[in-house]
Amino acid sequence: MRGARVLQCMHMPESRPITPLEPSRNVGAFMEGILAAAQEANIDSAQAADADKACGIAPKELPEGHALRGYTILRTLGSGGFGITYLAQEKRLRRQVVIKENFPAALCYRSAETLDVCLNNEESGRELFDWGRGNFLREARLLGSFDHPGIAKVYSYFEAHKTSYYATEYIDGVSLGRVAADYAQGRSHITQEALIGLMSRLLDTLDYLHERKLLHRDVKPDNVLITRNGLPKLIDFGAAREQYGDNSVSTVESLGFTPSEQGEKDGNMGPWTDLYALGATLYYLLTGSCLPGCRQRELYDSATPLAAYPKLLKEFDIDLLRSIDHACRPIIRERYQSVSQWMDDIRPFA
């Protein structure tokens, strides 16, 4: 399966009743605290040697073939500063799943003897680690309460090796970033019908979140996976937060896709924030280029609108392209304020 060939136009899913969710807690203080704790701990080579002697240090990723609460680790999919993602096999149902492990690397290491997660500094790191682990499980419970075809299902969450895990649906497909690369290099083609299907599905997914007063905050090509059936799935909810409430959140920015209000301490974030990111994602899909930074565009917008690309005008209706340009305008008040506003503009093409 390659690139844009997996995109297919699909009907909008039937409407579903919205039920209230426990709001997700802000992880900003946790992330900032981890960085501070890492500086405070300042474990030098001598301390590291002592730790190695007392409790040998293993690679931070669990080994292939490791049994973990009814799952078998097949391989590591990714490893970042705050967690590790694995492909695993669920033994009982014989299906592949993705397992996410809470592993704040600045605070901890893995014991070679037990594979448990051990703190670098018990005194300075325990409170931060426990807070983060609790928040990790709250995120899993939040995702587990979602019931939408555009969001990967959470199957279980559990604790093991002195940390926390959750298992999610394995999505067999390609990232929208890969689709964009294939399209830009002429290896595949995107029809207007396929583009509208993609937009409608992603907008429906964002509407589902926004109805629950949640923002994704990191919509970008690599956080959209296209299944073999052509269904887009929004992934990576690590940056998700409430639309309204505590503004003291960490800055989460993806260059070329994040609007300026998201990088401000008291930024005016709302549905328009995710819609900017989706517009910027679609801009990248169709042009192969990122938009200039939003702050820069507020001063001088050097971005070429999609509706001004002669090549795109041969493939797509100008008003459809203008709707994407509208979504990613740098000034908040000039963008779509809700999913329904954008859907109203693309409905004539559906």
**DSSP conformation class of 300:** -
Q: Quote the pLDDT of residue 263.
A: 84
Q: Which residues contact 322 (CB under 8 A, 6 or more apart)?
A: 305, 306, 307
Tokens of 149: 């075809």
Q: Coil, strand, or helix at residue 250?
A: coil
Q: Which residues contact 261 (CB under 8 A, 6 or more apart)?
A: 267, 268, 269, 273, 332
Residue 244: count of CB within 10 angstroms of its CB: 11
Q: Quote the pLDDT of residue 46.
A: 46
Mean pLDDT check: name the lowest of 22-31, 38-47, 217-226, 265-274.
Answer: 22-31
Q: Quote the pLDDT of residue 24.
A: 37
Q: Write out the H or E segment, with its range, that includes residue 160.
A: strand 154-160
**pLDDT tens-digit series, residues 230-259:** 899 999 887 777 665 444 445 567 888 999
Confidence at 138, pLDDT banded by 50, 70, 90: confident
Tokens of 230: 């052509």
Are 272 and 262 spatial neighbours (Cβ–Cβ below 8 Å)? no
